Amino acid sequence: MEKNNKIYVAGHNGMVGSAIVRKLKKEGYKNIIVRTRQELDLIDQAKVEEFFYEERPEYVILAAAKVGGIEANIKYPTEFLMENLIIQCNVIRSAFNNKVTKLVFLGSSCIYPKNAKQPLKEEYLLSGCLEPTNEGYSIAKIAGLKACEFYNKQYGVNYISIMPCNLYGENDNFDLKSAHVIPALIRRIYEAKMNKIPFVEIWGGGNQYREFMYVDDMADAALFLMENYDESQFINVGTGKDVTIKELAETIKKVVGYEGKLKFDTTKPDGMFRKVLDVSRLDKKGWKYKTELYDGVVKTYNWYLNKIKSTKSYK
């Protein structure tokens, strides 16, 4: 990409999209196109097509998605399936209709089968049944990466798909009804500290393993792959390292300075026992993450504290 190319970042207000915009600006890209949901509802096919026709972006990074934690995915599988399918189809189709030079589609490591071998290699896709607790979201993301693959094969375009591990960081969602595990734990442990609550209850037994990557590292990887990757096969993006939820909770407890206890509710679902990506293909391309988990949690916690101070409350 040239510094003056038109780059459309879909979902720029979200955690991932905002990190990508920060990275593009830091690298000197001057022609970044964004639209809020109020300005452009990506569910509306006609509006999306009109936007692409008028703006003519040359590059597209598709970071817009309906996302949420395990509770939200269990409760609203229809919305996680349908909204993501519609957003992806509208953006990818309009990108093709308006001759976008290159598109980057951001997926999720939840696409892999529940009982797949660990670490998760790209070739394990569709080799078994999905994890039931996020099946709707997973199916949508699989459809998105397959759409990119099929467009490449049938029409000779250049659409790449990136599958990141669990992400966290600045501008994350801290709403307890829909948050992912790190922001949810940060908020709950912080509020327990401030309200002198003697314990924090956590879903599951705490022995399940997860891989986490700081969102600014993801943004760096996305730009690196935009410049250096042109294959139809999707590519994993992560740290290649995982921790148990119990270890994660203890890390957050230490960062927050909470002295109470952590109680794990084994009556609640754990999700997949382990989910860590094989990032050997990415390693061979020459990219590696920079932010270790503890440092990333510190950055995220400090951002949350600043958000609370600036808004007086954060819901």
Q: Which residues are known to be catalytic?
A: 137
Tokens 């300075």 identify what position?
257
Q: Which residues are annotated as a binding site for substrate?
A: 188, 203, 210, 270
| 39 SS3 class | coil
**Max CA separation in the chain (angstroms):** 60
User: What span, in angstroms and rounded, lies between the C-alpha atoms of 116 and 130?
Assistant: 9
Based on its alpha-carbon atoms, the radius of gyration of the chain, rounded to whole angstroms, reads 19
Q: Who's near 146: CB < 8 A, 6+ residues apart? A: none
CA atoms within 13 A on the CB side of 12: 18
CB 166 within 8 A of CB 211: yes
* Adjacent-strand bridge partners of 244: 209
Tokens read off for 224: 């690196």
- Helix H or strand E encompassing 64: none
Q: How far apart are the first and last CA of the chain?
A: 38
